[in-house]
Structure 1
Amino acid sequence: MHRATTLHTLISRGKYSLSWKMLPAGKSWESAPDWEEVTEPNAKRVRQEDQSDDEEQSSSGKIGGRRPPFTRSHKIQRSGGKFHLLIGVSGSVAVIKLEELIQKLYQSCPENKLIIKVAATKAALNLLETQDFEIDEVIYEDRDEWSMWRGRGDQVLHIELRKWADAMLIAPLDANTLAKIAVGINDNLVTSIVRAWDPRKPLYFAPAMNTMMWENPLTFQHRNTLKDLLRYKEIPPMEKELMCGDVGVGAMASTTMIATIIATVVRNRFAVYTACDTDPAPDL
């Protein structure tokens, strides 16, 4: 039986969180009884130029083609005394560990010092739609890039996210996105952020793909481009039984391993800057 997957915004304790909800066959998200409670009542209101869409409401709506896109009034702002981590997710099945990864990151980093935003490829969103999970973080997608910009002076999303972030983590990094980054293709939000990335800021990537893809000579070449030319830092995959049933190298590194590495970056940043009590600088 066919079922449509939708994302509903739950409001809890003054924060917005994301939760997947399955609708029965023959139903659509427009007819969901609680839709009016959590989203704008009509598309026309969403498109209004003067719509209120500030940072505090930024996760309101739907993901994966369901929530209204962000508008030009949506602002991306840094918070003093915080480490701003941008997570890029691409179309590997390991993206289903996103909620677990975010939880591990918060647990591993200094309390109340980490802020996370997520940028997702279309393939990643397709995989996330199959899961039942709940997160508080904003997830940006390709269409937000276009809906937020209407002319000179408006924010360009991939540039604003690059400016916002102190570091970027791409986990998982699938073979397709790896290849795009290595050859300079930037045809979506995630790859555009990477192409515009400030080389003074750290960028970590955690590959995840089938073993035969991992062992392909092109993958070896692309990884070396990211590590040797672009100076990005790899968190290598591990060997285990993959989702397809094969056993071999290609599974994304454990969320504990990834969180430990990123937490070290965060702790080192604050260890350097605590004495002068300034906002973390982007060049360490």
Structure 2
Amino acid sequence: MESQSPTPLVAEQHMHDKKIHILLAAATSKLYNIAEALCQNKNIAIRILISEPAEKHFLGQSPEQPDYESLLQLDGVDAIYRDEDEWTPPWTRGGPVLHIELRKWAHILLVAPMSANTLAKMTKGIADNLLLSVIRAWDTTGMVDMGFKTQKPMIFAALAMDTCMSRHPVTEKQLKVLRDEWGCSESNPEGWVTVLSPSEKGMASGDIHAEGMMEWRDIVAVVLEYVAGLSKP
């Protein structure tokens, strides 16, 4: 499928549009539902990140498979980006770098769900796709991207993995990084990450005890709470 993204994105051109910018990365059949629900708020603008594994994950497997063309018809969805858009057209010296422009553009990053692979890579600082590059480039200090008075949040809907993967010792170590070191809490007011707890339910693998993503309506409700709490200077 050809990219649907405009070229190039220059974040500065959107800084005064009076909208809350949500960068949405999702590998779920509920992608359309999440985007449509968020677009009901006319003060929200959305850009969607779709990695190659995410695009193939549900291909032909579910009648709820997102129709990416239909996503672009939603009033509020500005663009869809894929990994190859980082270098298409070829970057020229002095030109905008997509993952940096997306970082600057976004006020909220929502990843739904956060896979075991993404969890492992981002806590190690690996940036080998567009989403991970945005995460790696995020303004974690809240002092560089000055679009808001408050720090820009990342929201991760955890975890899309089976029970053995979620209970593996390395998973708890990685989650500890997110919750204790990066997480926003009373004990860590400088944090920027919120991890939404998973639910036990059947998954595509057939494991009925798997850790599945939080119900999509609840995820939307959390995001809208953040939207309501953000204010531009």
Superposition map of 1:1-284 within 5 A? 66-68=1-3, 73=8, 75-76=10-11, 77-78=13-14, 79-90=16-27, 95-107=28-40, 111-127=41-57, 129-130=59-60, 131=65, 133=67, 134-136=70-72, 137=77, 138-199=79-140, 200=142, 201-207=152-158, 208-231=160-183, 232-269=193-230, 273=231, 280=232
Please tell me the root mean square deviation across aligned C-alpha atoms, in Å: 2.0
Q: Is the partner of 2:39 in helix, strand or coil?
A: helix
Unaligned 5+ runs, structure 1: 1-65, 274-279
Q: CA 1:219/1:261 → structure 2, altered by over 3 Å: closer, same or farther?
A: same
Unaligned 5+ runs, structure 2: 143-151, 184-192
Structure 2 CA distance for aligned equivalents of residues 117 and 73 of structure 1 = 13
The answer to whether the 8 Å contact 2:121/2:127 transfers is yes
Q: What is the CA-CA distance between 1:132 and the residue it aligns to?
A: 5.2
Q: Is the partner of 2:180 in helix, strand or coil?
A: helix
The answer to whether the 8 Å contact 1:227/1:234 transfers is yes
Q: CA 1:197/1:151 → structure 2, altered by over 3 Å: closer, same or farther?
A: same
Q: What is the CA-CA distance between 1:168 and the residue it aligns to?
A: 0.5
The answer to whether the 8 Å contact 1:182/1:222 transfers is yes
Q: What is the CA-CA distance between 1:218 and the residue it aligns to?
A: 1.0
Structure 1 CA distance for aligned equivalents of residues 17 and 5 of structure 2 = 24
Structure 1 CA distance for aligned equivalents of residues 36 and 7 of structure 2 = 30
Cα deviation 1:44-74 (Å, max 9, x = unaligned): xxxxxxxxxxxxxxxxxxxxxx215757545
Q: What is the CA-CA distance between 1:83 and the residue it aligns to?
A: 0.3
Letter in 1 for 2:135: V
Q: Is the partner of 2:91 in helix, strand or coil?
A: coil
Q: What is the CA-CA distance between 1:228 and the residue it aligns to?
A: 1.8
Structure 2 CA distance for aligned equivalents of residues 84 and 132 of structure 1 = 21
Cα deviation 1:134-188 (Å, max 9, x = unaligned): 2123221111001144221211000000000011011111111110001111111
Bigger fraction of residues in strand = 1
Cα deviation 1:119-145 (Å, max 9, x = unaligned): 122100112543353212322111100
Q: Which structure's CA Rg is the greater one?
A: 1
Structure 2 CA distance for aligned equivalents of residues 129 and 118 of structure 1 = 18
The answer to whether the 8 Å contact 1:148/1:157 transfers is no
Q: TM-score, normalised by structure 2?
A: 0.79
Q: CA 1:70/1:84 → structure 2, altered by over 3 Å: closer, same or farther?
A: closer
Structure 2 CA distance for aligned equivalents of residues 114 and 71 of structure 1 = 18
Q: Which moved more, 1:181-190 or 1:132-141?
A: 132-141
Q: Is the partner of 2:138 in helix, strand or coil?
A: coil
Q: TM-score, normalised by structure 1?
A: 0.65
The answer to whether the 8 Å contact 1:87/1:168 transfers is yes
Cα deviation 1:86-127 (Å, max 9, x = unaligned): 01235xxxx1210111122234xxx31111111122100112
